[in-house]
Amino acid sequence: MVKDKRLEKLIGKSMVVINKDHPHYHRLGIGKSFDKLAHGDFGLALEFEDGSSGYVFSAAEVKLLQEESDLLLSTEDIIEKLAGCNYGPREIAMYLDMSEKTFMKAWLDKTSAIRHHYEKGKLEADFDINQKLLDNAKTGNITAAQQYFKQVEERKVQDLKAQIYYGSET
């Protein structure tokens, strides 16, 4: 096997991998050395110092390995970023190379980590957009001000609906 120098920056770090015997992902500490086995359907195959092997969990992490970046996105970060870009749960499952059935089961559970990170990604994207919209409205952009006030009214309606459905909280 040929050593891949691009992988040296991962030594001692944790990363998300999937191995052939286990359909779920988990974090593995990386040993002092490992080899690149091959590029496969799941991404980059790795062999660890202890003889075990696995695949880098997502295509995004493979892309980051090929770039000169020390930062690897976690699965949670990927879910948040994709949800923030208006990708649905089925598309995210496909992107992560996860079984759609497994991902959807977790996504439908409103208390699951997958659902939490999905909703968090949408909320953060909405915040960024609304913050920029507010900044533009404050500088005198009339269109931005109109859009901002429209969203304020929509939020008031949503809040009133929540009070009606879930009871008044003051």
Going from the C-alpha of 3 to that of each of 6, 18, 38, 46, the distances in angstroms are 9, 21, 12, 11
State the CATH number of the domain containing residue 24.
3.10.330
pLDDT of residue 22: 41
Rounded distance, CA 49 to CA 14, Å? Answer: 14
Do 79 and 127 lie in one domain? The reply is: yes
* Average pLDDT taken over every residue of the chain: 70
Do 89 and 159 lie in one domain? The reply is: yes
Domain of 32? 5-65
Could you report the per-residue pLDDT of 5-28, keeping only the tens digit for each? 555 555 555 454 444 444 333 334
Picking from 51, 55, 4, 56, the residue whose alpha carbon sits closest to that of residue 31 is 51
Could you report the per-residue pLDDT of 43-60, keeping only the tens digit for each? 455 555 556 655 554 444
147 burial class (0-12, 13-18, 19+ CB within 10 angstroms)? middle
Task: State which H helix or E strand residue 28 sits in.
Answer: strand 26-29
Quickly state the pLDDT bin for 87 (edges 50, 70, 90).
very high
Do 61 and 83 lie in one domain? The reply is: no
- Domains in the chain: how many in total? 2
